[in-house]
Homo-oligomer: A and B are copies of this chain.
Amino acid sequence: MTFETPPRPLARAPRGFQDRRAGTLEIERRILTAVSRVYESYGFEPLDTGAFEYADALGKFLPDADRPNEGVFALRDDDEQWMALRYDLTAPLARFVAENWETLPKPFRRYAFGPVWRNEKPGPGRYRQFIQCDADTVGSSRPQADAEIIAMAIEGYAAAGLPPGACALKINNRKLLNGLLTASGVADPMQKLAVLRAVDKLDRLGSDGVAALLGRGRLDESGAFTRGAELEASAIEAVLAFVEAGGGSRESVLERLSNVIGGSAEGDEGLAELSGIGEALTRLGVDSSAAAFEPSVVRGLEYYTGAVFEAELQLQGEGEEAARFGSIGGGGRYDDLVARFTGERTPATGFSFGVSRLAAALSAIGAAGGAPRGPVVVLALDQTLMGDYFALAAELRASGIAAEVYLGGSGMRAQMKYADRRLSPAAIIVGGDEIAQGVVTIKDLDLGRQLAEGVTDNRAWREERPGQISAPRSDWITHVQRIVEAAG
């Protein structure tokens, strides 16, 4: 058997990577601009680290540990050091802070946005490159720092265009469940991790499913068995009482939690921190409907040490749709991440917007704006007039109207089709006659589209050339301007 090398490479994007065009990019940029502005208004400065970090600096904190290279894209540099593409913006920040601690203003407040990469199994809607937009405060252990991060996230979602009430911040603290488990005699970190993973499935499996995963294990409908965390019955009960302590005001959740935590030192610490965050949120004017305490929240990343936050899309009456988006951002406190480098505990807290997911959510709820409009197209009908066409396009641009001369090699019909495909608001038609008469013919393409769809009444049909006007060179721009403004 012989294989021939194909003569030409196949034109396809790598699996799990996406080409994003004008519509998507416009929403993403609007989000980034709006959220950056919120971050800057709170005094956060921008920072951009490179795409690569040394693998040891990045650490292994991703949940999907059975993937190649622990879920990251890694390669060996020519000096034999392993580098990996960043999987989030937090791990590179920890490296940067550790590297520059002496000269940084403290607390160090920075925001950042850009692509991150995860070497996950690609699937429909699951991409291996996506955009995050983070703000972090490094060097403050105050609960006010967490509260401020949460308040900024809420302000950011609103600024990005989410309608009021569409997004709820849920807050938890890892010390609570940890303390409860310690009090229940669970000390093994792997067993604790299994408990976290089980709790994380509450939404999907309900209490019974989680109870099974906390105990011996669970047999799913397909017949597959997932091993459980092997907790005692009393511990299972305590964990379930804990994860179901949410609902209602922050104060009422705190009260219920203090009853189920069981009095370990770590649990009490978590409670005190939550209480401090709650007080600061109230002072910042953020009430329980915008930011609630929710003990069932578990964040996947392993570096969080205390408070964790998660932003969930809540769309009234569209439960299924909302569930599809789920988390559109999250964060928390990671007091040990800088200490990995320096050996000195450095308190830090932050939040990350899942920009690509938020953009998809905005599109789905119709809050993303219409399809991007193309430029005004000056048709190229007479090769001897190319100079005039360029002059017309330049005149339009000078008036703030995006414009281009058609530069393909096709005739009038194809040129009109081109303008239509670009969703251009208008086409400019000039031949020898127009030049001789000192006029410009302007075609309103939206009107043409409406006529084609039968949207507009038949008055316009009575005109010989519907939607087409002839304007003198002295004021043709105002006519185009009107059409462009109407097109929006």
> Are A374 and B43 in contact, CB atoms less than 8 angstroms apart?
yes
Number of copies: 2
User: Looking across the interface, which residue of chain B has its beta carbon closest to that of A39?
Assistant: B402
Q: Does A205 contact B (CB under 8 A)?
A: no
Q: Given the complex, which residues of B lie within 8 Å of A117, measured CB to CB?
A: 51
Q: Does A78 contact B (CB under 8 A)?
A: yes
Q: Does A204 contact B (CB under 8 A)?
A: no
Given contacts A15-B77, A41-B375, A106-B418, 10 further A-B contacts (CB under 8 A): A8-B340, A11-B341, A13-B53, A19-B49, A43-B402, A43-B403, A50-B129, A51-B115, A105-B374, A139-B408
> Are A13 and B46 in contact, CB atoms less than 8 angstroms apart?
no
Q: Does A433 contact B (CB under 8 A)?
A: no
Q: Given the complex, which residues of B lie within 8 Å of A283, measured CB to CB?
A: 386-387, 390-391
Q: Does A20 contact B (CB under 8 A)?
A: yes
Interface size class of A (residues with CB under 8 A): 35 or more
Q: Given the complex, which residues of B lie within 8 Å of A83, measured CB to CB?
A: 14
Interface residues of A in 1-40 (CB under 8 A from B): 8-15, 17-22, 25-26, 40
Question: What per-residue 1/0 map shows which CB atoms of A388-424 lie under 8 Å from chain B?
Answer: 0011011001000011110111000000001001100
Nearest chain B CB to A21's CB is how many angstroms away? 6
Q: Does A144 contact B (CB under 8 A)?
A: yes
> Are A403 and B41 in contact, CB atoms less than 8 angstroms apart?
yes
Nearest chain B CB to A297's CB is how many angstroms away? 24
Could you show 13 A-B contacts with beta carbons less than 8 Å apart? A9-B54, A11-B95, A11-B98, A17-B52, A19-B47, A19-B49, A42-B397, A43-B422, A51-B117, A67-B78, A109-B404, A141-B409, A285-B394
> Are B14 and A53 in contact, CB atoms less than 8 angstroms apart?
yes
Nearest chain B CB to A136's CB is how many angstroms away? 12
Q: Does A466 contact B (CB under 8 A)?
A: no
> Are A407 and B13 in contact, CB atoms less than 8 angstroms apart?
no
Q: Does A56 contact B (CB under 8 A)?
A: yes
Contacts A48-B19, A53-B13, A98-B11: A402 and B129 contacting too (C-beta < 8 A)? no
Nearest chain B CB to A20's CB is how many angstroms away? 4
Q: Does A284 contact B (CB under 8 A)?
A: yes
> Are B48 and A25 in contact, CB atoms less than 8 angstroms apart?
yes
Report the Cα distance A109→B407, complex, angstroms: 10
